[in-house]
Amino acid sequence: MNLSELKSLLTEHSASHFRIRLPDGAAVPVSFHVTEIGRLHKTFLDCGGKLRESTTCQLQVWVGEDYNHRIETGKMAAILEKAKSILPDDSVPVEIEYEDRVISQYTIREFEKLEDAIVLVLANKHTECLAPELCGLPSIDRLPSIGGSAPCCGPTGCC
């Protein structure tokens, strides 16, 4: 889900509760806070030697001891509006960072509309080889290269 889709969803259902479900089906406690909204820009060299970059909007979710705290979709939309100056491109994907024994980052797989709530259903993030042609893997091309350079590993495999 990208930022514009999330904003539209929240605005369209501004009187609903805002909930989050983890990939294993467990719910993030309803008393969660959104403690950070960030634009994460990553510039990196893939295992094939290509310079790449990616940008995401990351929402950090934290559960405190104030068990009566609740966040509604309208309030979440207002929080995103306040972050507009650091999130000028609404086409970026949104990810959720949440700690449950370890800090994990999740993508948003889909949403569910319940009678009184919007539920973001999360999916696990995965690592993958971005130079499959060097490793003998099927080709994938999801991240744009920002510079052409020779592979760091040569034709026989990844670094």
Residue 35: count of CB within 10 angstroms of its CB: 11
Residues 56, 94: Cα–Cα separation, whole Å: 6
Q: How many domains does the chain fold into?
A: 1
Residues 33, 36: Cα–Cα separation, whole Å: 9
pLDDT of residue 154: 42
Residues 159, 149: Cα–Cα separation, whole Å: 15
Q: Evaluate whether residue 158 is within a structural domain.
A: no
Structural domain that includes position 8:
3-147
Q: Evaluate whether residue 155 is within a structural domain.
A: no
Which positions ≥6 away from 112 have C-beta within 8 Å?
21, 118, 119, 121
Q: Is 158 helix (H, G, I), strand (E, B) or coil?
A: coil
- CA-based nearest residue to 51, from 132, 129, 146: 146
pLDDT of residue 147: 53
Q: Evaluate whether residue 159 is within a structural domain.
A: no
Per-residue pLDDT of the chain (159 residues; tens, 9 = 90+): 999 999 999 999 999 999 999 999 999 999 999 999 999 999 999 988 999 999 999 999 999 899 999 999 999 999 999 999 999 899 999 999 999 989 999 999 999 999 999 999 999 999 888 888 887 776 555 555 555 444 444 444 444
- CA-based nearest residue to 70, from 123, 126, 28: 28
pLDDT of residue 133: 81
Q: Evaluate whether residue 157 is within a structural domain.
A: no
pLDDT of residue 140: 54
Distances (CA, A) of 17 to 77, 96, 107, 155: 12, 17, 20, 53
Q: Evaluate whether residue 156 is within a structural domain.
A: no
Q: What is the largest CA-CA distance in the chain?
A: 58
